[in-house]
Structures are given as C-alpha cells and as structure tokens.
C-alpha cells in the first residue's frame, strides 16, 4: 500500500567475491513470482481488455461499442454517479475518524499505543464476510440499532437494502486503510516544530493548522486515495447490505458477467473502473512525490 520497497542494495559491497554476486546475479529469484503474476494476473487482465473491444452485441459495429453503450445509457451513469458519491462519503467519514485516532496514537505511551494499534489491526484482518454479517444483524429492521433509534424517539429507519447501510458498513470496514497510513506519517512529525511555532506567538490551533496539518498531508492523501479506490471497486458490502435497485458499479459488473454472461459489456465496465483507479493512484503518487521534493528542498510556497 503505502509501503514502497526501497533500494536495499545501496551499501557498497566489500570483497571481490561478493561484488560478483551483486548486480544481476539474484534476478532469477524474482522470476517465479513474476511468472505467476504474468500468467494468472496480467494475462487475464489483458484478456478482459481485449474482450471489451472484441465482443460487441450487434457484431460489426465500432470496437468502442461497449463503451458507447456504457456512457450512453442513463441508468449506467446513475450507477456510476452513485458509486462515486458513496466512495466520496466513505472517504470523508474515514478521514474524519482516522485523523484524530492516529493523532491520539502519537501522543499516548508505548503500551496504550500497542493497544490502539491492535484495535486497528484486528478488525483490519478480520474476515470481511464476518464483519458484513455482523452489520446485517445490527442494521436489520428489528435489529439493535433500530431498537436504539426507536427508544430515543427517532423512530425506526430502513438501514438495509439501501445506500445508507452500505455506507455505514463500508466506513467501519475501510477505516484501518485510512488510519494506518496517516499514523505512519504523523509518527514521523517532529513535535518540537509545534513548540517552536507557539514560542513565536502562534496560538495552538494556528500552530496546528499552519505547521502540523501541512506536514501530515502525505498521510491524508495516501489514506484518502486508498479508501477511495477500494470503495469504488467494493463488492461484498454493497451486495449484502445494498439492493439491486441501488446497485453500485461492482454489483453491476458482477451481474453482467455471471448472470447475463455479457463479457463485452462487463469487461468494458471493468476497464472503466480500472482506468479510474489507476489514474487516481498515478495522480496521488505524483502529488506525493512533488510534496516530498518540496519538503526536502525547503521551498514551500504555502
């Protein structure tokens, strides 16, 4: 995710014998992994792209027929818009919860931090199916959440089979994806900078806004990007807690392929989703790299 493997072989090697083993001698070890990825990942993806152009409903029309169909059908655009709106809402909510939590993790003692970290990691690695099932139990019409809403006088709400249930569950499920990268960045911020700002007369909130927040931007960006991209392609939660009439794009792709067996159209939608995700990730890492070089050269236009 945000962990990018860096150059591990940077240290100059001593001894002629070992220098001979450096360079390219170890590349064969990487090949089996690359081979598996090539055969079972990149080749299938390429096939999906090919079929999205090759398998067109009335044969003989333009190779872009499936894409034209996708962007010319109002129902499809409604689904795309609903998917993006849900992803934006989930991302915003995750950031609002994750940032203070990650901040808390940087100011508490070692032991409390370990507990807080475990509270993030355990759900992170808890079965998706289990967590979705738990949300079904909680949000169902006669479930505990509705009982509570009725008790405080709000009245029972329909929380399953629509976008609200999907959004609530997705926020809880994707929260660790925002918390972990934000925490990784906050941990590295030198808190003495805040003291410096305050000693120069900035009130605490101002020191936070002008010093701390900009320094934490890479973490916010990484967290937001990961949550947003995963939300766009999320299948299980919308399928279990949503409904076909409120479908998100992933459910629609699933139906095209598994029920309608329309690999051309399903493939075209998958390619649209893939391109959106890749473009966002590309822009995000570009922005991150820019921010980094600005920090290291000390030139900060802000």
Partner 1 sequence: MAPTLVVIPMGFTAANTFQFPPSDWTLDRYSSLFSDPAWFDALKTSVIVAVLVTALATVLGTAAAFGLSRSRFRMKPAISAVLLVPMVVPTVVVAIAIYAIFLKWRFVGTLHGFVLAHTLLALPFVFVPVTASLQTFDRRLERAAASLGAPPLRAFLQVTLPSIRSGVLTGALFAFITSFDELVVSLFLGTATVRTLPVQMYGSVTREIDPTVAAASTVTLLLTTTLLLAVLFRPQREAVL
Contacts of partner 1 in 126-185 (CB under 8 A): 126-138, 140, 142-144, 172
- Give the 3-state secondary structure of residue 247: coil
- According to CB under 8 A, which residues from 36 to 95 bind partner 1? 36-37, 40-41, 43-45, 47-48, 51
Tokens of 188: 């590295």
C-alpha closest to that of 181 among 84, 268, 266, 101 = 101
- What the block records as the tokens of 296 is 């290291």
Q: Does 25 bind partner 1 (CB under 8 A)?
A: yes
Would you say 123 or 291 has its CB closer to partner 1?
Answer: 123
**Helix, strand, or coil (residue 255):** helix
Give the shortest CB-210-to-partner 1 separation in angstroms.
Answer: 32
Residue 94 vs 229, nearer CB to partner 1: 229
3-state secondary structure of 299: coil
Q: Which is nearer to partner 1, 212 or 254 (CB)?
A: 254
Query: Is 200 an interacting residue with respect to partner 1 (CB under 8 A)?
Result: no
User: Mapping DSSP to helix (H, G, I), strand (E, B) and coil, where does residue 25 land?
Assistant: coil
x-marked contacts with partner 1 along 267-286 as a string, rule CB under 8 A? x--x--xx--xx--x-----
Residue 116 binding partner 1, by CB under 8 A: no
Collapsing DSSP to helix, strand or coil, 26 comes out as coil
Q: How many CB atoms lie within 10 A of CB 104?
A: 14
* CB 225 within 8 Å of CB 180: no
The rounded distance, in Å, linking the Cα atoms of 297 and 173 is: 38
Task: Please identify, using beta-carbon distances, which residue of 1 and 85 lies nearer to partner 1.
Answer: 1
Number of residues that bind partner 1 (CB under 8 A): 86
Token pair belonging to 130: 């289990």
The contact pattern for partner 1, residues 219-258, with x = CB under 8 A and - = no contact, is: ----------xx-xxxxx--xx---------x--xx--xx
Those residues whose C-beta lies under 8 Å from the C-beta of residue 113, and which sit 6 or more positions away, are 105
Q: Please say which residue, 129 or 193, places its beta carbon nearer to partner 1.
A: 129
- Per CB under 8 A, the segment of 11-19, 84-92, 101-109, 189-197 that binds partner 1 is 11-19
Check binding of 34 to partner 1 (CB under 8 A).
yes
Nearer Cβ to partner 1 (146/216): 146
Select from 243, 232, 234 the least CA-distant residue to 278: 232
The single residue among 57, 85, 108, 118 that binds partner 1, judged by CB under 8 A, is: 118
Q: Which is nearer to partner 1, 110 or 192 (CB)?
A: 110
Helices 43-54/263-297 angle, 10° precision? 130
**Among the listed residues 22, 188, 214, 244, the single contact to partner 1 using CB under 8 A:** 22
| CA 222/CA 195 separation, integer angstroms | 27
Residue-by-residue DSSP string for 8-56? S--SPPPSHHHHHHSTTTTGGGTHHHHHHHIIIIIHHHHHHHHHHHH--
194 or 222: whose CB is closer to partner 1? 222
**287 touches partner 1 (CB under 8 A):** no
For residue 11, the minimal CB distance to partner 1 (Å) is 6
């Amino acid at each position: 995710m945000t962990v990018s493997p860096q150059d591990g072989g940077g240290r100059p090697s001593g001894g002629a014998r070992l220098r001979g083993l450096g360079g390219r001698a170890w590349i064969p070890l990487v090949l089996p992994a690359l081979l598996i990825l090539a055969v079972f990942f990149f080749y299938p993806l390429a096939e999906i792209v090919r079929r999205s152009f090759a398998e067109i409903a009335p044969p003989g029309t333009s190779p872009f027929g499936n894409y034209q169909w996708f962007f010319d059908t109002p129902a499809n655009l409604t689904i795309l818009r609903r998917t993006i709106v849900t992803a934006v809402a989930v991302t915003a909510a995750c950031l609002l919860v994750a940032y203070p939590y990650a901040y808390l993790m940087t100011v508490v003692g070692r032991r409390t931090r370990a507990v807080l970290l475990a509270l993030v990691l355990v759900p992170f690695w808890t079965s998706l199916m289990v967590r979705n099932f738990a949300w079904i139990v909680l949000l169902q019409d006669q479930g505990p959440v509705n009982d509570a809403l009725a008790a405080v006088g709000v009245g029972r709400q329909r929380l399953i089979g629509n976008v609200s249930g999907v959004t609530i569950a997705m926020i809880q499920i994707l929260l660790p994806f925002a918390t972990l990268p934000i925490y990784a960045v906050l941990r590295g911020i030198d808190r003495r900078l805040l003291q410096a700002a305050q000693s120069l007369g900035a009130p605490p909130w101002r020191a936070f806004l002008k010093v701390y927040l900009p320094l934490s931007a890479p973490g916010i960006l990484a967290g937001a990007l990961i949550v947003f991209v995963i939300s766009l392609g999320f299948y299980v939660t919308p399928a279990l807690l949503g409904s076909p009439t409120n479908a998100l794009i992933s459910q629609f792709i699933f139906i095209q392929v598994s029920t309608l067996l329309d690999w051309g159209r399903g493939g075209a939608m998958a390619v649209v989703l893939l391109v959106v995700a890749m473009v966002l990730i590309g822009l995000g890492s570009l922005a991150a790299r820019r921010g980094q070089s600005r920090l290291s050269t000390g030139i900060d236009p802000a």
